[in-house]
Amino acid sequence: MSQTQIQTMLAIEKIRPAEDQPRKTFYQESLDELAASIRERGVLQPIVVRPLSGEKDGLFEIVMGERRYRASKLAGLTEMPVVIRDLNDEDAATDALLENFAREDMNPVEKARAVQKLLQFMTYEKVAKTLGVSETTVRRMLELLELPPHVQSELIARPGAPATNFNEGHARALINLNDDPSTQMRLVLKVKKDKLSVGALDQIISAIQKYPTKKEVFLHVSSSVADQMIRSLSAKEERKRPYKAQTAREHLKAIDKQLTTITDLMDDRIVEFLANEEMNQLLASVAQATRQLEMFTHKVREALENKDYGFSEVYIHCPLCGRIELIGSLRCSTCWTILRRCYDCGHYDRPFERCSKLDKQIFIAEAENPKEYSPSYKCSFYKPKFTPQSMKLKMSG
């Protein structure tokens, strides 16, 4: 870059803005404020210009300081301080870009356009070194220019306009929908209305792409409802994949945990504090869950009947924690206590400490606290003496 430069006063009529200046957004209120300051105190920092040649000989193009130039014209100045540098197109573009990059109020779209201009003179590698960033960052800046203009405009903050939470991250997420600009704009409005995070927007976009028939629903419902729908749809997709034994065991633990949580929440006093519409919603949710549970229960019962000869749906309760289990379970799924105890069996004669079915002596200590080697552990003749608490009716298919 040439170091030749002259500082002088220059007639404003000889100064021209650069046609491809990186900064395109100038707000009138901000310019009026700067113009008022210039009238009172003058231009405190000279702008940088370069001489033009050819038909524009005698004129000078702004390299840095267009905002000060515009405000000086508004202030009525006829001349202003400048630094004249002899710069070629590449050096002028670089200086203009670096000066604007240092400004906090330069929006992401303007930065991307400036980088695009630099690439007319430089390679990606040189642009990255000039800006002190990685090539990946340079390419990510340019991605914003792939968005339609109406989305790009959302990244240009306007003084005095209400603040929104739509930012560069949201804009980048919308690049995946460049083939559907109308949906992009509807999602912009949804981000601002529902205050969606970038992660939530990403999730909705992925869902729209994966389940296009549900697009209208995702565009209308709240983010929490959309999240529930996505999880439900994903679960249905998961069911189409090959099932593994380990997955079954993990699901069993999860089902037990969730059902316990739901059971604990089912306090009928809730209806005393819900409005009519809310009770309708609650009943619909519970009814839907009941239908799904009934179908699931039928499948499990059917599998037991088909695989386990002599299956009988008899329920017993754990003597330690009270959990109700099927007689086919060997241990309590909550506290792991052995369930079949001679002490609770209808074939056990407590006074004589003897099993009438097996005609075998079983001492009371073993009858009350059986081990895995005890006769009752897997006894096929086990017959509960009492109906389990809360299980008065036999559950049958």
- The 10s digit of each residue's pLDDT in 311-324 is 778 888 888 888 88
| Domain end (from 95, 122, 146) | 146
Cα gap 212→36, rounded to integer Å = 55
Query: Has residue 332 been placed in a domain?
Result: yes
CATH of the domain at 118: 3.90.1530.30
Between strands 79-85 and 5-11, the pairing is antiparallel
Between strands 15-16 and 315-317, the pairing is unpaired
| Domain end (from 121, 146, 171) | 146
Cα gap 251→239, rounded to integer Å = 12
| Domain end (from 114, 146, 178) | 146
Assess whether pLDDT exceeds 80 at residue 104.
Answer: no
- Tell me the C-alpha to C-alpha distance, in Å, between residue 319 and each of 120, 314, 324, 331, 371: 82, 16, 10, 11, 14
Classify the phi-psi angles of 30: left when phi > 0, otherwise alpha if psi is within -120 to 50, otherwise beta.
alpha
3-state secondary structure of 77: coil
CA atoms within 13 A on the CB side of 141: 24
* Count of residues in the chain: 397
Residues 77 and 128 in one domain: yes
State the first-to-last Cα distance of the chain, in angstroms, to the nearest integer: 88
Residue 95 gets which letter from DSSP?
Answer: H
- The 10s digit of each residue's pLDDT in 129-187 is 888 889 999 999 999 999 999 899 888 766 545 567 889 999 999 999 999 999 999 99
Domain boundaries, position 46:
5-146
Cα gap 331→377, rounded to integer Å = 9
Query: Strand locations in 128-269, DSSP E?
Result: none
Residues 10 and 139 in one domain: yes
Domain count, the chain: 4
Between strands 47-51 and 79-85, the pairing is parallel
Cα gap 376→390, rounded to integer Å = 24
Residues 168 and 132 in one domain: no
> Residue 23 — pLDDT band, cuts 50, 70, 90?
low
Query: Has residue 151 been placed in a domain?
Result: no
Cα gap 139→119, rounded to integer Å = 11
CA geometry: angle 178, 93, 103, nearest 5 deg: 75
Please indicate whether residue 66 is annotated as part of the active site. yes
Residues 176 and 294 in one domain: no
Query: Has residue 153 been placed in a domain?
Result: no
Residues 18 and 81 in one domain: yes
- The 10s digit of each residue's pLDDT in 191-210 is 999 899 999 999 899 989 98
Minimum mean pLDDT among 47-56, 292-301, 334-343: which range?
A: 47-56
Cα gap 82→4, rounded to integer Å = 14
Asked if 324 and 316 touch (Cβ cutoff 8 Å), the reply is yes
Cα gap 79→94, rounded to integer Å = 26
Residues 113 and 12 in one domain: yes
The active-site residue out of 29, 33, 66, 125 is 66
pLDDT score recorded for residue 393: 46
